[in-house]
Amino acid sequence: MTDMAASCTSCGECVRPCSFLQQQGTPLSIAQQGATDRNLLAAYGCSLCGLCDAVCPESLSPSGMLRAMRSEAADRGLVDLKAYAPWLNYEKMGASPFFRRDLIPPGCTIVFFPGCSLPGTRPDAVLELFKRLRLMEPAIGLVLDCCGKISHDLGLTDRFTALFGRLSQRLRHKGITRILTACPGCSKIMRNYGEGLDVTSAYEVLAAGTLPTPPASPLNVVTIHDPCPARFDPAQQTAVRQLVQSCGYQIEELPSHGTTTRCCGQGGMVEGCVPGTIKQETRLIAAEAAGRPVISSCASCSDSLTTATAAGHVVDLLINKTDFPAKPVSSARRWLNRLKLRFARIL
Ligand code: SF4
Ligand code: SF4
């Protein structure tokens, strides 16, 4: 807050695209209000999407300040965690032995880590991705677990540190040095906190392999929704586009893409304190898509966008699945899908 109070010029560049800042004022005015209980709690209305960081001419990080405010609010015991129980239970169950799995062959130093949402919504695609990655990295293993992003974003530092610390220590203990991720949220968490671990998006690895030549006439025109955790990850963004094109699709970019992509509404669990956020944000992205199917590399984004427009995941195209889901995958189905992967015969 001190840095923001000293450096923000209140130019308003970050306010223009952000409904949260339009209500709360510039990062300077938020910082000047100080660490009052009310001001700290207001940070839970920010999705931590990072769009403000991307557009700030002073290279400031309002999202970093707001994340720190969440942590302070949580440390002071100000947050009513009941509002976030669905997310916290989801994280707790996903990191439990019921759903965790390590398939690490002897001598393995590299694993595929698909995260939570992709296994919950597309278990068959996870197996197919793993199969393709094994063709390129024969000694690769598979780890099913949760990276703790929910606790991280809610500012629950101790809980996040325990969850992520246990995961990263286990991987290191088993000799893992490289992780291929399918979830942009996991990628960001692991890059920021997984000291000594080389983290690469699985899409980059797949795109670096031999891709089929796209047909002369594209099957369809699609748009790409870049997930906000991959906002500053041009390599991942490029790889996803290469994969989509290799499946025979023509891409028309959304006005908000790359570093200026919009949050799908799931970011920061804002829905827990501002119900209707997902509906509002997905409608904005659907309006930009103007009827063209929206493809994302984040299963949570794809699931949210399904409520507003035709939306799928890049892995849907990779497995030739073009009938995009008509509605989000139910909670019960997600757990069944994850159990299916937990006990699937794989290696
Ligand atoms: S992180 Fe996103 S929601 Fe939060 S202030 Fe920045 S642009 Fe707005
Ligand atoms: S864009 Fe940067 S300088 Fe301008 S109001 Fe936002 S944080 Fe302040």
Q: How far apart are CA 344 and CA 111, in angstroms?
A: 17
* Residue from 15, 26, 51 to probe ligand 1 pocket by mutation (most atoms less than 8 Å from CB): 51
Classify domain 220-328 by CATH architecture: 3-Layer(aba) Sandwich (3.40)
Domain boundaries, the chain: 2-75, 86-207+333-343, 220-328
Compute, in angstroms, the gap from residue 60 CA to the centroid of ligand 1: 12
| Pocket flag, ligand 1, residue 66 (CB < 6 Å) | yes
Compute, in angstroms, the gap from residue 49 CA to the centroid of ligand 1: 5
Q: How far apart are CA 272 and CA 96, in angstroms?
A: 23
Ligand of minimum distance to the alpha carbon of 63: 1
pLDDT digits (tens, 9 = 90+) for 124-177: 999 999 999 999 999 999 999 999 999 999 999 999 999 999 999 999 999 999
Compute, in angstroms, the gap from residue 46 CA to the centroid of ligand 1: 5
Q: What is the pLDDT of residue 218?
A: 66
- Give the mean pLDDT of the chain: 94
The separation between the first and the last C-alpha atoms of the chain, rounded to the nearest angstrom, is 50
Q: Given CATH 3.40.50, say whether it is the number of domain 86-207+333-343.
A: yes
- pLDDT bin (cut points 50, 70, 90) of residue 319 is confident
pTM of the predicted model over 0.85: yes
- pLDDT bin (cut points 50, 70, 90) of residue 327 is confident
| Pocket flag, ligand 1, residue 150 (CB < 6 Å) | no
* Residue from 60, 63, 266 to probe ligand 1 pocket by mutation (most atoms less than 8 Å from CB): 63
Q: Same topology for domains 86-207+333-343 and 220-328, yes or no?
A: yes
| Pocket flag, ligand 2, residue 5 (CB < 6 Å) | no
Look-up of token digits 């030739």: 320
Most confident of 174-178, 317-321, 323-327: 174-178
Q: CA 27 from chain center: how many Å?
A: 24
| Pocket flag, ligand 1, residue 51 (CB < 6 Å) | yes
pLDDT digits (tens, 9 = 90+) for 27-69: 999 999 999 999 999 999 999 999 999 999 999 999 999 999 9
Q: What is the pLDDT of residue 96?
A: 94
Which of 135, 144, 140 has the alpha carbon at shortest distance from 178?
140
* Residue from 9, 21, 49, 51 to probe ligand 2 pocket by mutation (most atoms less than 8 Å from CB): 9
